[in-house]
Amino acid sequence: MKRRLVPFFILFFTLFLVLPNILLSKWLVASEGPSLGYYPKYEQARQQRTTQRNNSQLTVSQKLRQIDNDIRRINGRLAALKRENDSLRAKITVLERNLQAATEVVPELKASLESAVKAKAAIDSSELTLISQLSLIMNKIRLLEDKAAYIDSTNFEILSQLVLLENKIVSLTSSFNDIMAARQTESQPPSTSLTDEEFRRRYIEALTAYQNGQYREAQDRFSDLLSSGSQHELADNAQYWLAECFYATKDFKRSITEFERVFNYSTSDKRDDARYKIALSYWNVGSHDRARIEFRKLLDEYPNTDLGDKARRFLQ
């Protein structure tokens, strides 16, 4: 019986030793792929898997290197940010110190500002007071100027009225003197249609009408005398009193023309009076510059005239 069991044990022992090796070989072949000797159609697939595995290993290595580089850059950036943070901290510290110093100065500045505001308010109040006073002064000045202008206008009107009255008195006196002279003078009768006696009589009648304020009638009488006896020795006087008639009726433009005609009589003693009345006529029509020219002519042509002082008053 022992002889029968020996082969059985040998077979069992052989299987026990060989079978695990066979199973292990099959498992290795299954994990690595078929071998070139036994499975040639799977060799290409095995090589592709090997290549992909190698490429995967290379890709992982590159990614690791890239990650390492990124880490280094991030570390450099972190170092720069740290330095910048330290700089900002230093600046913040300086700003905090400045703020603290400014905070200590603020009360003083506030007090100074309040003092300045109060001073400005006082100055503004003073300015308003000064402006108000200045406005009152300006108003008073305007009132004084208006009064002065009114006084000047009034004085000018009074002066003009005085001149007119004075001229009227002078004219009346002169006409009276001319009447007396015409009555007392004896001369040779002129070669006219009127006798000397008739000319003198009509001349006295014309002057009498002028003295009575009958200027239109006197104007007509003097015009008739001049048209009938312009060569008579009283013809220049008649021409002068004709101009006075127009002056008395304030027809100053016509009076200028008639006074100018007095200068046609070279021996007339009325030439200075005519020049003076021409100047007054221009003054009364508002031509003051031309009137001053005539007043200067009077002083230049007749320096000894009694009308010099009156003319100089208009030239002042």
Domain holding 213, by residue range, is: 155-315
Which pTM was predicted?
A: 0.44
What is the tens place of the pLDDT at every residue in 169-196?
Answer: 555 555 555 655 554 444 444 444 678 8
Pick the more confident residue, 80 or 231. 80
243 lies in some domain: yes
CATH number, domain of 256, equals 1.25.40.10
The rounded distance, in Å, linking the Cα atoms of 211 and 222 is 13
Residue 303 in this model has a pLDDT that exceeds 80: yes
186 lies in some domain: yes
The rounded distance, in Å, linking the Cα atoms of 253 and 246 is 9
**Token pair in block for residue 65:** 């290197």
The CB density around residue 231, as the number of other CB atoms within 10 Å, is 8
What is the tens place of the pLDDT at every residue in 113-158?
Answer: 788 778 777 777 777 777 767 766 766 666 566 555 444 444 445 5
218 lies in some domain: yes
51 lies in some domain: no
pLDDT-derived band at 77, boundaries 50, 70, 90: confident
100 lies in some domain: no
The rounded distance, in Å, linking the Cα atoms of 178 and 102 is 106
Q: What is the DSSP letter of 189?
A: P
CA distances from 161 to 83, 104, 166, 210, 316 (A): 105, 85, 8, 19, 18
The rounded distance, in Å, linking the Cα atoms of 50 and 10 is 43
Q: How many domains does the chain have?
A: 1
Closest to 194 measured CA to CA, from 218, 223, 220, 230:
230
300 lies in some domain: yes
The rounded distance, in Å, linking the Cα atoms of 297 and 26 is 159
